[in-house]
Chain A
Amino acid sequence: MQPIILKEVLRLKKEKKEFSIITDINNAANYIYSPQHPLPTILEPYAPAIKTAAVKRTNGMIAETSLFIDNYHLPIKVFIVGAVHIAQYFCDFARHLNFETIIIDPRGYFTSKQRFPETKVINKWPNEAFLELPLHANDALIALTHDPKIDDPALSHALTQQCFYIGALGSKKSHTSRCQRLQALGFTDAALSSIHGPIGIKLGGRAAPEIALSIIAQLVTEVYKR
């Protein structure tokens, strides 16, 4: 691989673009393929197969060619409501597991840069934050504040957007009252049952990093269920 191609790959990754690297294993030639990087003439005959692999995000050899394709797509976004202690450990785990984390918390003391040096933090109420950065079905949302004033609007928004993973911290009892409040807002039982509450898989631990681990373990499980 030529350093100039590697440099372009790193630029695209840094700018959060989706792209593919195609390598001809017979001569070690590399090509970048993306909406901004059309296929060179030499690869035109294989365009349909290359496009299919890129769309389906299938890494591997293109059948009956000497071309290998490796697809880069963006990480799943996890919106964390509550810049709490658990969130700090969650962001650490998320970095290794390649999730992008975004923290929302209207409370200024919690959202200091010192607490979250590498995470995007939005110091606003959830409804304002989602205007700045909209939530989609392909995103996950976890509510960690325990405070209905902050958690409930965020959960309502996530339910409306049908996020693939929605979790809320709190005991069974507080989850039951949470569901009653959301039901009063018009959410169905089916929608409410999509909330993971109490959040996380059963690990047994109650320390902040242990709870963070149990939440991210559940999130990974849900990613592979999709």
Chain B
Amino acid sequence: MNQNAFDEKILEEAWTWLEAKQSVVLATVIETWGSSPRPVGSRMIINQNGDFSGSVSGGCVESAVISECIELLNNQQTHKKLEFKVSNESAWEVGLACGGEIAVYLEKIH
């Protein structure tokens, strides 16, 4: 064992949101390649208003994750996998400036 158990209490917060009758999507970093800002297992929750807690990157891809989550809440799907790659500086696309790649898994809590 070479690290402490990191726990940002996101799942506890998700429960509080559910109790407040909010629709919640759980986003989890499930894979990383190269230099990524947050490790596998990092979590974030998002509600229908776009409020969020936690993180899946250093702020690089959160806005894209939030819009995908809101879309998920508005359709019949239960889950979705997103992949983010190195950003192209010449475009206004979302990406990871660090040069890494991450896969984020979205699942509704319902």
Contacts and interface: CB of A to CB of B under 8 A. Distances in A.
B2 interface: yes
Contacts of B2: 223-224, 226
Interface of B, secondary structure class, is mixed
A223 B107 contact: no
Nearest to A56: B1
Interface in A170-197: none
Interface residues of B, number: 27
A23 B4 contact: no
A74 B105 contact: no
A59 B15 CA distance: 22
A74 B41 contact: no
Contacts of A25: 30, 79, 81, 105
A79 B41 CA distance: 28
Interface residues of A, number: 33
Contacts of B6: 98
A57 interface: yes
Interface of A: 1-3, 6-7, 9-10, 13, 23, 25, 27-28, 30, 57, 59-61, 68, 70-76, 97-99, 138, 220, 223-224, 226
